[in-house]
Amino acid sequence: MSEPARTSDTADDDGVVAGLISNARRAMHAFLSSDQARVDEAVTALAWSIYKPEHAVALAEMAVADTGIGNVHDKITKNQRKTFGTLRDLSRAKSVGIIEEQPALGLVKYAKPVGVVAAVTPSTNPSATPVNKAMMAIKGRNAIIVAPSPAGLSTTTRTVQLMREALQTIGAPADLVQVLPAPVTKSLTNTLMQAADLVVVTGSQNNVRNAYRSGKPAIGVGAGNVPVIVDASADLAAAAAKICASKTFDNATSCSSENALVIVDAVYDAAVAALQEAGGFLADAEQKQNIQDVLWVDGHLNRKAIARDAPVFAQLAGLPERASKCRFFMVEEQGVGPGYPFSDEKLSLVLTVYRVADFTAALDKVAEILDFKGRGHSCGIHTQDMDHARKLAEELDVVRVLVNQAHTFGNGGGFDSGLNFTLSMGCGTWQGNSISENLSYRHFLNVTHLATSIPEDKPSEEALFGAYWRRYGK
């Protein structure tokens, strides 16, 4: 873990990865005989390695210092809340031996490891995501090798070191969890993906595409650009409070953070007033242009402006003093697409606001936004009309539709939400992903099906074809 940085070339990459894979397989072999209690003990040890208050604080401080992204307070919360929720989910699940029996079908299901997991992790969550994936991988008695974002390398390396120490404390093989050494390059990460048994990627879409090209089974997640409807029946004060809490969490680094609000005309003025009361600053046309000029440089998000604290962003954008005292910034927009950058993901405390005639127009606008960027990920609605919520679920190509929730806190699992805790959210084939659900321990299991004979279940031809014959003939 403390070896000096190496130079990187193809031959060196092959040797480094071969060593890591060999270590991982030895650790897996030693851990394979573990029963459920022992596995759960190891998972708990990993959870405590980041949940432990002094570790949660130190890693949060390190992450912000390394990456310049987000804020320490919320990263502490993320390190602990996500880990606690994931541990809750995993502690209730079987992942060793017989995990399910279906006597009526004569089926018994046995869990087996998938093997060595290559886990690519992002700079936005350089500590929480590695632990989250490691917990899920070890739950299946796998080994995991983390490929960090270069920007988050120091934080991720320290995180992995803490996980390894936690495994050693309980007498489990430390090499169940490893990390790529510096310098982490695209070549080294690609070499790892090609050598592993399963690749799981959270981060840039280039990494996701490389994972699917690696020749190995891969799970990649998609980009977010969450639009949320404020319906005519919404509790506006409650909606504004939830939107503010969600949008401002860790300075909007989450892919689940609201990027656009689509507000129906009947409550538009009142909704904007509620958002201002909750801490929002509404930019005028000149201020909107200033925000655009600082947030994008040559068509790309400006790393010096994204995920910054509100006073810092307000100063960068030349906004008035009162803006620096607000918690987030709203810009009004009408269009969607390449010519309207505010319709895209912003990774900042900037929230785009659309005014539409009614719910039907709101649904159409959300669909337009998602078709431009974020299709498959998620959307939300604040409403008292569940028919409207169901309409979104029926008609929109998204994996998750959240109703009356703070999107960032509900989308990746919540204590008042049935979605499992995760930091990696699949977006289905709509965004080129292999899963259309939240990543969970189940994705780190192979399953053997023991099938025994049952009484014959063979319906008659009439039962299966009768209705068709009567309508169309034989």
pLDDT for 6? 56
Q: What is the dihedral of CA 50, 51, 55, 59, to 10 degrees?
A: 60
Pairing of strands 116-120, 198-201: parallel
Nearest to 43 by CA among 97, 78, 75, 83: 83
Q: Which token pair is 119?
A: 């886990």
pLDDT for 207? 87
pLDDT for 8? 55
DSSP 368: H
Q: Are 223 and 373 in contact (CB under 8 A)?
A: yes
Q: Which token pair is 319?
A: 């906004």
Q: Are 372 and 380 in contact (CB under 8 A)?
A: no
pLDDT for 4? 46
Tell me which H or E stretch contains 376. strand 376-382
pLDDT for 211? 92
- Full DSSP string of 60-115: HHHHHHHH--S-HHHHHHHHHHHHHHHHHHHHT---SEEEEEEGGGTEEEEEEE--
Amino acid of residue 238 = A
Cite the residue boundaries of each domain of the chain with CATH code 3.40.309.10: 226-410
Backbone angles phi, psi at 131, to 5 degrees: -70, -40
Residue with tokens 């390398």: 153
**CB-side exposure of 228: number of CA atoms within 13 Å?**
31
Q: How many residues does the structure list for the chain?
A: 474
Q: Does domain 10-221+439-450 have CATH number 3.40.605.10?
A: yes
pLDDT for 427? 96
Q: Are 273 and 239 in contact (CB under 8 A)?
A: no
pLDDT for 9? 66
CA 265 to chain centre: 32
pLDDT for 10? 72
Strand partners, 276: none
Q: Which token pair is 474?
A: 């034989």
- Record the pTM: 0.94
* pLDDT tens for the chain, residues 1 to 474: 444 455 556 779 999 999 999 999 999 999 999 999 999 999 999 999 999 999 999 999 999 999 999 999 999 999 999 999 999 999 999 999 999 999 999 999 999 999 999 999 999 999 999 999 999 999 999 999 999 999 999 999 999 999 999 999 999 999 999 999 999 999 999 999 999 999 999 988 888 889 999 999 999 988 899 999 999 999 999 999 999 999 999 999 999 999 999 999 999 999 999 999 999 999 999 999 999 999 999 999 999 999 999 999 999 999 999 999 999 999 999 999 999 999 999 999 999 999 999 999 999 999 999 999 999 999 999 999 999 999 999 999 999 999 999 999 999 999 999 999 999 999 999 999 999 999 999 999 999 999 999 999 999 999 999 999 999 999
Q: Are 170 and 49 in contact (CB under 8 A)?
A: no
Q: How many Å apart are CA 164 and CA 45, to the nearest integer? A: 9
Q: Are 376 and 433 in contact (CB under 8 A)?
A: yes
Amino acid of residue 118 = A
- Full DSSP string of 296-358: EETTEE-TTTTT--HHHHHHHTT--HHHHTSSEEEEE----BTTBGGGS---SSEEEEEEESS
Q: Are 167 and 177 in contact (CB under 8 A)?
A: yes
Ramachandran bin of 343, using left for φ above 0, alpha for ψ from -120 to 50, beta for the remaining angles:
alpha
3.40.309.10, 3.40.50.1100, 3.30.450.40, 3.30.930.10: which CATH number matches 226-410?
3.40.309.10
Q: Which token pair is 457?
A: 């279940």
Q: How many Å apart are CA 252 and CA 246, to the nearest integer? A: 8
Amino acid of residue 473 = G
DSSP 455: S
Instruction: Please identify every residue annotated as catalytic.
Output: 255
Cite the residue boundaries of each domain of the chain with CATH code 3.40.605.10: 10-221+439-450
